[in-house]
Amino acid sequence: MIGTAAGSSAMYYAMTAMGHAAPSNYTGPIKLDGDPKGAKVLVLGAGLAGMTAALELRAAGYTVEVLEYREKAGGRCWTLRSGDEYTELGGAKQTVGFSDGNYINPGPWRLPHHHYAVMDYCRRLNVPIEPFIQTNYNAYVHRGDAFDGKPQRMGEILTDYRGHVSELLAKAVDQGKLDQEVTADDKELLLESLRRFGVLDDQNAYVKSLDTSGYRGYDKQPGGGVDAAPVASDLNDPQQVIQSQLWRYFSTHESLDHWAPMFQPVGGMDGIAKGFEREVGDLITYNAKVTSLKQDDSGVTVTWEDATGAGGGTNTSTADYCVCTIPFSVLGQIDHNLSPGLSGVISSMFYNGSTKVGLEFKRRFWEQDEQIYGGITYTDQAISQISYPSTGYQSDGPAVLLGAYTWRGTDTFKFNAMQPAERIKWALRMGEKIHPQYRDEFKAGVAVSWHKVPWVLGCSGVWEDREAQGYEEAIKIDNRVVCAGEHLSYIPAWQEGAILSSLDAISRLHDKVING
């Protein structure tokens, strides 16, 4: 009843209060008590999981060494700016041609407020954050087979959908069809809530009026002075609203991971990576391509090469223990002697594919022409969505949109098969069906398909059935090696999952070191 009357957000708050739902389980900075007596830990990977481990283990008294494949830290916490170069698997090279100050986050791009670990590390590492606009009712929802292919304002469709559904439910209540589920006392409260929730009139009908226009928008806005009276807007036909299937996009904003407020680091997501790097950068060897991970009862030996191909021969690092944050998509291709149970999980895990396309335009036409300030437009086209920048409002200069964000499925496979320039071309071709200004205003673009990112080979690890796939086996300490990362959490694809997995792994490893 809570969900029906007040929406899924209210339902989730109630579920949380009742103990049926909860956000991140982070409770504060980790405490690793006890003297490790000079034990050395080798950390593989300087993404957020790896740098979290390095930061906390050194603070606890361990000797720490970090090997990182890339020339910089952060892993998928990555931002592309003007002049940056990126070469994907297959050799296609892109040089970012954005104007100074503009950027795109190919990986993580927003921070839920209840991802407490990420938020706490941002505070501790002095990483400034700002609001990320997830929901904008003035943005669009679009399907090629709905409303003659014309994009519709989200607020109009959402209000009409909510109004029509509320009217139907109110009729069912009035006609006694829910008497077995709703008591007489609850019936009156439910009808009252539906009138408020669905903007129904005294007869429990959703009709054209100034009241409904106050939620979905007016045909003529209220003004001042002469001829200032507002004019109510026409409602969309209920059957058209249902058949349009545009309602499919609404639930995203109600899911726990997208509750407002959301945030982003000022100036790019890699602000978090740089914050960690300021603390542990002296521990990191960059451009270190791990080729072998071997352990025995006395320690761990890792063989690595210079990832730049500049030579330098084969190098070896040794330690008492190892925290391995290398994605399983890559670890499965590295020579190792991990246990059969862990090896089986590593070799069988597949990774989500995702493609993001950043498009820079000469001016902020979405603001100047269409009054869209931040938020996301959704479409059934392969680009999936368009996200508008949450900063720099009303500035005159060029600005960058997230012009495509695919998530698994055939659309991602299609983009994977393309060269970067072709991905950008298709993003423009699809985007102009929503914003006709695209072609005239386009300035530069960059496209990243995560299955072709050499240091990950995918966006995030996939668990269809954790029990059957061996999740518990994968998170165990394997003699002297413990694995960590977003793929070993119940919050995959989020930075929170990476950090929480790392904290859990090093806590258990520390307990083993101290207590044997």
Q: In this structure, are 437 and 314 located in the same domain?
A: no
Q: In this structure, are 287 and 360 located in the same domain?
A: no
Q: In this structure, are 311 and 295 located in the same domain?
A: yes
Confidence category of residue 14, pLDDT binned at 50, 70, 90: very low
Q: In this structure, are 438 and 364 located in the same domain?
A: yes
Residue 5 located in a structural domain: no
Residue 510 located in a structural domain: yes
Taking residues 55-72, what's their average pLDDT? 98
* Contact predicate 436/400, CB 8 Å: no
How far apart CA 249 and CA 222 sit, in angstroms, is 30
Residue 144 located in a structural domain: no
Average pLDDT over the chain reads: 94
**Residue 450: pLDDT over 50:** yes
Structure tokens, 1: 């009843």
Taking residues 188-214, what's their average pLDDT? 97
Q: In this structure, are 370 and 326 located in the same domain?
A: no
List, for residues 501-515, the tens digit of each pLDDT value: 999 999 999 999 999
Terminal Cα distance for the chain, rounded: 52
The reported pLDDT for the residue numbered 313 is: 85
Q: In this structure, are 363 and 393 located in the same domain?
A: yes
The reported pLDDT for the residue numbered 232 is: 98
Picking from 315, 261, 265, the residue whose alpha carbon sits closest to that of residue 287 is 315
Radius of gyration of the chain (CA): 26
Q: In this structure, are 336 and 481 located in the same domain?
A: yes
Q: CB-based burial of residue 378 (10 Å sphere; 0-12 exposed, 13-18 middle, 19+ buried)?
A: buried
The reported pLDDT for the residue numbered 72 is: 97
The reported pLDDT for the residue numbered 48 is: 98
How far apart CA 333 and CA 292 sit, in angstroms, is 10
Q: In this structure, are 447 and 370 located in the same domain?
A: yes
Confidence category of residue 116, pLDDT binned at 50, 70, 90: very high
Q: In this structure, are 365 and 345 located in the same domain?
A: no
- Helices (H) and strands (E) counted in the chain, each on its own, are 19, 23
**Residue 19: pLDDT over 50:** no
Q: In this structure, are 172 and 214 located in the same domain?
A: yes
CATH number reported for the structural domain that contains residue 493 in this entry: 3.50.50.60
Of 185 and 351, the structure prediction assigns the larger pLDDT to: 351
* Contact predicate 351/114, CB 8 Å: no
Confidence category of residue 25, pLDDT binned at 50, 70, 90: confident
Q: In this structure, are 209 and 182 located in the same domain?
A: yes
Picking from 326, 427, 354, the residue whose alpha carbon sits closest to that of residue 107 is 354
Residue 119 located in a structural domain: no
**Residues facing residue 405 across a β-bridge:** 356
Q: What is the DSSP letter of 119?
A: H
* Contact predicate 461/325, CB 8 Å: no
* Contact predicate 473/444, CB 8 Å: no
Which amino acid is present at 365? F
pTM, rounded to two decimals: 0.92
Of 151 and 18, the structure prediction assigns the larger pLDDT to: 151
* Contact predicate 325/44, CB 8 Å: yes
Residues of the chain with pLDDT > 90, as a percent, come to: 88
The reported pLDDT for the residue numbered 4 is: 41
* Contact predicate 92/86, CB 8 Å: no
Taking residues 405-427, what's their average pLDDT? 94
Listed ranges 9-18, 19-28, 118-127, 173-182; the one with the highest mean pLDDT: 118-127
Chosen domain end from 452, 472, 501: 452
Residue 185 located in a structural domain: yes
List, for residues 83-96, the tens digit of each pLDDT value: 999 999 999 999 99
The reported pLDDT for the residue numbered 181 is: 87
Chosen domain end from 431, 452, 473: 452
Taking residues 40-54, what's their average pLDDT? 98
The reported pLDDT for the residue numbered 5 is: 42
Per DSSP, which regions of 165-252 are E strands? Answer: none
List, for residues 344-402, the tens digit of each pLDDT value: 999 999 999 999 999 999 999 999 999 999 999 999 999 999 999 999 999 998 999 99
Of 78 and 257, the structure prediction assigns the larger pLDDT to: 78
Taking residues 275-304, what's their average pLDDT? 98
**Residue 23: pLDDT over 70:** no
Picking from 1, 44, 20, the residue whose alpha carbon sits closest to that of residue 485 is 44
Residue 15 located in a structural domain: no
Residue 163 located in a structural domain: yes
* Contact predicate 246/146, CB 8 Å: yes
* 142 three-state secondary structure: strand
Find the angle CA(83)-CA(268)-CA(68) to the nearest 5 degrees: 75
Confidence category of residue 184, pLDDT binned at 50, 70, 90: confident
CATH number reported for the structural domain that contains residue 435 in this entry: 3.90.660.10
* 406 three-state secondary structure: strand
The reported pLDDT for the residue numbered 180 is: 84
Q: What is the DSSP letter of 476?
A: S
List, for residues 393-402, the tens digit of each pLDDT value: 999 989 999 9
The reported pLDDT for the residue numbered 22 is: 53
Picking from 303, 341, 306, the residue whose alpha carbon sits closest to that of residue 322 is 303
Q: In this structure, are 308 and 181 located in the same domain?
A: no
* H helix intervals, 38-174: 48-59, 116-124, 154-174
* Contact predicate 424/357, CB 8 Å: yes
List, for residues 141-165, the tens digit of each pLDDT value: 999 999 999 999 999 999 999 999 9
How far apart CA 418 and CA 421 sit, in angstroms, is 8
Residue 74 located in a structural domain: no
Give the domain extent around 398: 82-112+129-138+260-265+352-452
* Contact predicate 385/330, CB 8 Å: no
Taking residues 24-42, what's their average pLDDT? 91
- Report CA-CA distances (Å) from 130 to 104, 168, 389, 395: 16, 41, 12, 18
List, for residues 470-496, the tens digit of each pLDDT value: 999 999 999 999 999 999 999 999 999
* 492 three-state secondary structure: coil
Residues 6+ apart with CB under 8 A from 438: 359, 361, 428, 431, 432
Strand order in the sheet with 111-112: 111-112, 262-265, 129-132
Number of domains in the chain: 3
* Contact predicate 320/303, CB 8 Å: no
